[in-house]
Amino acid sequence: MAVITISRQFGAGGKTLGEMAAKKLGYAFYDDQIIQMLASEARVSRQWVESVEKEAGGTLQKYIAMAGRKSFIERISTASRGYIDEEIYVDLLHRIVRQIAEKDRVIILGRGSQYILQDMKDARHVLLVADRVDRIHFIVTHYGVSRQKARWIVDRQEKRRMALYRRFGKTDYDQPSLYHLVLNTSKMSLAQACAHMCMLAVG
Amino acid sequence: MSVVTLSRQFGAGGRTVGKRAADALGYSFVDDEIIQEVARKARVSTNWVESIEKEAGGRLLKYMTRFIPKSFIDLILDDQRGYIDEEIYVDLLQSIIKRIATEGNVVIIGRGSQYFLQDHPDAYHVLLVAEQADRIKFMQTHYDLSPKEAAVVIQQQDRRRMNLYRKFGKGDYDRPHLYHLVINTSKEPHEKACRMIYKLVAG
């Protein structure tokens, strides 16, 4: 009985692994669904949420650590038309990730969930790492893009991840101390990694 | 025939977990103090390693597993000069560790074995980390020290570890990319860590 968060370097196989482990454990897997949940809650289009995620910028830093700002939530619930900006995004993300976690028996991919749920007793936090060359290769094979495109994606995602976390005042997102387990998918197969992840959930 | 290298922050339970894992796997167990003692002796007499191997029927590992190192407390309380500031002969460490590895089926704690054996085809590299407060607590209970003594020992050992790696020219010894698995023993009990190592090796 647990909640597992997966944080990862892009191309280390987080989504694939998350789905595998969820299937094995009989858990629900949350990744992109979170976007729709945010969109529904804020009463905006999912495109708007996606654009907020893409453009995560300066103001985000002030709010990631905050649990919630009543005035904004009130504003959303009373407005006839929805609205979302970075501030509201973070508030809602905190709420929605916690809501998901309360269901128990879930695996959540990314979105700072390792921070949002860091004090949750039944949460287990996993970090996936892999060598850059392996991550590029993974993206080429799994997403069917050229090596050049894959390289660009890996670098861009890493830069975005770093910028995002830095603005939250978090630079430690690849530090083992945040996590229960760090799995190196350059050195083990996804099946092996999945087996270890599942060991976290059971006794 | 596999080798497990277990690197760890001091007080994360490396020896405890390593010994347990070795027993579970039916492997030999060689901890860092044994390697240190052997290196110290070998430095004194040039053909010492070869002569020991001859005596032990050609197997250095066999000799080393029978070796009883000084009790840990004696080492700590011993003449500091010979212990902390002693020159480490990197070549000697390397040759000892590589020899043990060829004899196979062994769990090796520390002494840079994760670096010396990083290209070994049948080596599994595990890192144990833990919060400083937990590491201090571990020292207290496991070695019956006062909180103050424990804190000092942890500090000493962390420095010693850093110095050892500085001699190799390595600063990345706590970074996940070197390892198959990183386990946080502040979050996962030793027993679980042991089972994960077993799973990694035995499949």
Q: How far is B43 from chain A (nearest CA, A)?
A: 35
Q: At a CB cut-off of 8 Å and minimum separation 6, what does A151 contact?
A: A136
Pairing mode, strands A3-8 and A123-129: parallel
Burial class (CB in 10 A: 0-12, 13-18, 19+), B166: exposed
Please state which of the four CATH numbers 3.20.20.70, 3.40.50.300, 3.40.50.2000, 3.60.15.10 is assigned to the domain occupying B3-198.
Answer: 3.40.50.300
| Residue B39: predicted pLDDT | 76
A181 and B180 within 8 Å at the Cβ level: the answer is no
B2 contacts on A by Cβ (under 8 Å): none
Say yes or no: A187 contacts chain B, CB-CB below 8 A. yes
Say yes or no: A119 contacts chain B, CB-CB below 8 A. no
pLDDT > 70 fraction of chain A, expressed in percent and rounded: 84
Say yes or no: A182 contacts chain B, CB-CB below 8 A. yes
Reported as a single tens digit per residue, the pLDDT across A123-157 is 999 999 999 999 999 999 988 999 999 999 999 88
Compute the average pLDDT of residues B53-77. 63
Q: What is the pTM of this model?
A: 0.84
Q: How far is A174 from chain B (nearest CA, A)?
A: 8
C-alpha torsion sign, points B130, A193, B105, B173: negative
Q: Which CATH class is domain A3-190?
A: alpha beta
Q: At a CB cut-off of 8 Å and minimum separation 6, what does B22 contact?
A: B4, B28, B29, B106, B107
Say yes or no: A200 contacts chain B, CB-CB below 8 A. yes
Could you say which of B176, B186, B195 has the minimum Cβ distance to residue A182?
B176
Which is more confidently placed, B127 or A50?
B127
Domain boundaries, given as residue ranges, for chain B: 3-198
Reported as a single tens digit per residue, the pLDDT across A29-68 is 999 899 899 999 989 988 888 888 777 654 444 454 454 4
Q: How many CB atoms lie within 10 A of CB B198?
A: 17
Reported as a single tens digit per residue, the pLDDT across B10-43 is 999 999 999 999 999 999 999 887 787 777 777 7
- Locate the chain A residue with the closest alpha carbon to B124: A187
What is the ipTM for the molecules in this complex?
Answer: 0.82
B196 and A196 within 8 Å at the Cβ level: the answer is yes
Which is more confidently placed, B42 or B7?
B7
Q: Strand pairing partners for A176?
A: none
